[in-house]
Chains A and B, each alone.
Chain A
């Protein structure tokens, strides 16, 4: 088991990206060294009783000893976080959770396609994942064998399409869906995914696909159904309200189907902060 750290991390920057979205970088040598894509940190945004609990945020990227977050201002906690200044310190705990399994894929590399599906703020952990996937795969196979990971980004409207360039820079192909059709495909990102996996046009042996996803629960649910219908492996990062973030309070559970159902007992509760946040989406009972 990897160690978890509580660190006083210096804020290097904390700035608005667009609309209500912010990006922050903090310094933590310990956490940055061991953090994996899909893991998160739990941040004490301010030391008052009023905003009492820590707030969980995915690790968006790691750059040297810097840990970068991408966050949306939603309520009191994120509002306060957005006002914290460069040079101040944040009390952070991490890295937490299981993270994405980079070795999920089996089978021949040449026939494999990795699809990343992000809904809204769901891009946050997937940029880190894309960077690591490309690195891992780059080591494993020759360039000409490689199929670029495909990233599908969903957003309400074009100004909220996040991280398109980051994904491209790391060597992925990107497609965009917006609810209002102001950019790319008009509709939900899961509809775009559905189209993509149903489309023919691929020449050669059948593709083995794997989906990594992050986004709101309804999106992940729809995605799990598409993956089920098409027999594709799908993992995703889930959210739940959590109190401790370290597995002690049993607060942040989700319902997961048992691998071996027993009579009258076909599910178990699993903690998003410990067994998750990344789960096999087809096992989640929504």
Chain B
């Protein structure tokens, strides 16, 4: 028996449910020497903003127990250069390309980005990164979305609803909303995204953390606080998938510390329909391909005909 791996997210059809997490796979070309990119379920690009962004001052990364901290600050070439220089390569792969977008200055930027990408045939879906902890971009203050305010959009259910709703109006593409774990109740935010018309939620983005060099008494990351990723955050991520799964009907893309097949399977069992591999790409660039093979083998051994049957199959 060949187990079925194909899944749907919104109108998007994936041949298998293994994708890569935004910001950990560049624009895919960096990985071409290590794996056959065509085998991936989907590729999510590094988050793009309208204008080019230099990103944050270094040091931007450090190691942490079973993980790493990063504060890249969304360094990216901006939409125009992305479309001109990166999209061509991605198109030729024949893999669904999901473009992650963020705004530096106001909800309007999300709308401009979404409208522009809506016209690009080869963009399979748009992922709204409203959860990057490392930029002082679009945030929430009081009830209004404003620049440089205190909270991320994905830390506020109303703001999440407003933004997703606004973007939903300007694009017919499959819409994925990426959520932050730095909240009291993530399912409340997921519900807001669903109500506003998001086709899917992706979770989790990084947990805000901090490390100190005791010799110099300086923070190890120039931006002081940074996003924690890797195996250290996996139990938090699995828990959040499970909480969200019980509340919403749209599919979940689960991620956070997936290193291998067994850690990927945890996410499916806890309610994810698909998974993204992030930090693991840095450690083992073949992780995605090994996980695709591993999932197939697991389904075969466990006599599960279709990956969809595994989603949310936890025994309590």
Shortest CB–CB separation between residue B305 and chain A, in angstroms?
A: 33
Q: Are A269 and B70 in contact (CB under 8 A)?
A: no
What is the CA–CA distance of A52 and B66 in the complex, to the nearest angstrom? 6
- Per-residue CB proximity of B28-43 to A under 8 Å, as 1/0? 0011011000000000
Q: Among the listed B34, B70, B232, which residue makes an inter-chain contact with A249, where contact means beta carbons less than 8 Å apart?
A: B70
- Interfacial chain A residues near B34, Cβ < 8 Å: 4, 6
- Interfacial chain B residues near A44, Cβ < 8 Å: 283-284
- Interfacial chain B residues near A91, Cβ < 8 Å: 284
Q: Are A243 and B70 in contact (CB under 8 A)?
A: yes
- Interfacial chain A residues near B66, Cβ < 8 Å: 49-50, 52
- Interfacial chain B residues near A52, Cβ < 8 Å: 63, 66-68, 230-231, 279, 283
* B24 at the A interface (CB under 8 A): yes
Summarize A's interface: helix, strand, loop or mixed: loop
Chain B residue nearest in CB terms to A240: B58
Shortest CB–CB separation between residue B65 and chain A, in angstroms?
A: 7
Stretch of A100-108, A109-117, A251-259 on the interface side: A251-259
- Interfacial chain B residues near A13, Cβ < 8 Å: none
Shortest CB–CB separation between residue A74 and chain B, in angstroms?
A: 13
Q: Are B24 and A248 in contact (CB under 8 A)?
A: yes
Question: A242, A246, A251: which has the most chain B beta carbons within 10 Å?
Answer: A251
In this complex, how many residues of chain A approach chain B with their Cβ under 8 Å: the count is: 31
Question: B54, B55, B63, B72: which has the most chain A beta carbons within 10 Å?
Answer: B63
* A147 at the B interface (CB under 8 A): no
Q: Are B283 and A248 in contact (CB under 8 A)?
A: no
Q: Are A243 and B61 in contact (CB under 8 A)?
A: yes
- Interfacial chain B residues near A268, Cβ < 8 Å: 54
Contact-residue bracket for chain B: 35 or more
Shortest CB–CB separation between residue A246 and chain B, in angstroms?
A: 5
- Interfacial chain B residues near A61, Cβ < 8 Å: none
Shortest CB–CB separation between residue B289 and chain A, in angstroms?
A: 12
- Interfacial chain A residues near B31, Cβ < 8 Å: 246, 248
A6-B286, A53-B68, A93-B285 known; A246 and B61 CB under 8 Å?
no
* A134 at the B interface (CB under 8 A): no
Q: Are B281 and A248 in contact (CB under 8 A)?
A: yes
* A17 at the B interface (CB under 8 A): no
Shortest CB–CB separation between residue A90 and chain B, in angstroms?
A: 13
- Per-residue CB proximity of B48-90 to A under 8 Å, as 1/0? 0000001101111111011110101001000000000000000
Q: Are A254 and B58 in contact (CB under 8 A)?
A: yes
Question: A51, A53, A243, A268: which has the most chain B beta carbons within 10 Å?
Answer: A243
The residues in A between 205 and 256 inclusive whose CB is less than 8 angstroms from any CB of B are: 240-255
What is the CA–CA distance of A56 and B86 in the complex, to the nearest angstrom? 27
Q: Are A248 and B58 in contact (CB under 8 A)?
A: no
- Interfacial chain A residues near B30, Cβ < 8 Å: 244, 246-248
- Interfacial chain B residues near A243, Cβ < 8 Å: 61, 68, 70, 279, 282
Q: Among the listed B33, B54, B61, B285, which residue makes an inter-chain contact with A269, where contact means beta carbons less than 8 Å apart?
A: B54
* B25 at the A interface (CB under 8 A): yes
- Per-residue CB proximity of B206-223 to A under 8 Å, as 1/0? 000000000000000000
What is the CA–CA distance of A157 and B80 in the complex, to the nearest angstrom? 54
- Interfacial chain A residues near B60, Cβ < 8 Å: 241, 250-253
Shortest CB–CB separation between residue A284 and chain B, in angstroms?
A: 12
- Per-residue CB proximity of A259-283 to B under 8 Å, as 1/0? 0000000001100000000000000
What is the CA–CA distance of A242 and B67 in the complex, to the nearest angstrom? 13
* B3 at the A interface (CB under 8 A): no
The residues in B between 284 and 308 inclusive whose CB is less than 8 angstroms from any CB of A are: 284-286
Shortest CB–CB separation between residue A30 and chain B, in angstroms?
A: 11
- Interfacial chain B residues near A253, Cβ < 8 Å: 55, 58, 60, 75
* B19 at the A interface (CB under 8 A): no
Q: Are B55 and A249 in contact (CB under 8 A)?
A: no
Residues in chain B within 8 A of chain A (CB atoms): 23-26, 30-31, 33-34, 46, 54-55, 57-63, 65-68, 70, 72, 75, 230-232, 259, 279, 281-286
For this complex, 28 residue pairs linking A to B, each with C-beta atoms less than 8 Å apart, are A5-B33, A6-B33, A6-B286, A49-B66, A49-B231, A50-B65, A50-B66, A52-B68, A53-B68, A241-B62, A241-B63, A243-B282, A244-B24, A244-B30, A244-B281, A248-B26, A248-B30, A248-B31, A248-B281, A249-B23, A249-B24, A249-B26, A250-B55, A250-B72, A251-B60, A251-B61, A253-B55, A269-B58
A-B pairs, 5 with minimum CB distance: A248-B26, A251-B61, A244-B282, A248-B30, A49-B66
Task: Identify 12 new A-B residue pairs, CB closer than 8 A, beyond the known A4-B33, A6-B285, A242-B61.
Answer: A6-B34, A52-B231, A53-B63, A53-B68, A53-B282, A54-B282, A244-B24, A248-B30, A250-B46, A250-B72, A252-B58, A252-B61
